[in-house]
């Protein structure tokens, strides 16, 4: 398993904290984890559509909706 995860750990440059894994695997947290994953997928898709991602371009995709653009381009999302 360590060999399989080696490229991922090299990319992330850190291990996933045990506390995060414990919280993420609780059944009551499944909706939060799935929503977070959905937001990450949407961010990646928007970056692909915009041929790269900058905050200005990303926010403009939401017609100047700064609070939404800010949420989607920061760790608040």
Residues 12, 76, 71, 33, CA torsion sign: positive
Question: How far apart, in Å, do the first and last CA atoms of the chain sit?
Answer: 30
Residue 2 covered by a domain: no
The model's pLDDT over 51-60, given as tens digits with 9 standing for 90+, comes to 766 655 555 5
Residue 56 covered by a domain: yes
Residue 28 covered by a domain: yes
**Per-10-residue mean pLDDT for the chain, 77 residues long?**
86 88 94 90 80 61 55 57
Give me the domain span that covers residue 61: 21-77
Runs of H (alpha helix) within the chain = 2-12, 18-24, 30-49, 55-60, 66-72
- Specify the pTM: 0.52
Residue 74 covered by a domain: yes
Number of domains in the chain: 1
């Amino acid at each position: 398993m360590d060999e399989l995860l080696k490229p991922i750990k090299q990319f992330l440059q850190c291990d996933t904290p045990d506390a995060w894994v414990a919280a993420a695997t609780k059944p009551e947290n499944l909706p939060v984890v799935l929503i977070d994953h959905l937001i990450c997928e949407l961010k990646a898709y928007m970056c692909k559509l915009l041929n790269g991602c900058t905050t200005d371009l990303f926010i403009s995709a939401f017609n100047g909706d700064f609070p939404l653009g800010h949420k989607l381009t920061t760790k608040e999302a």
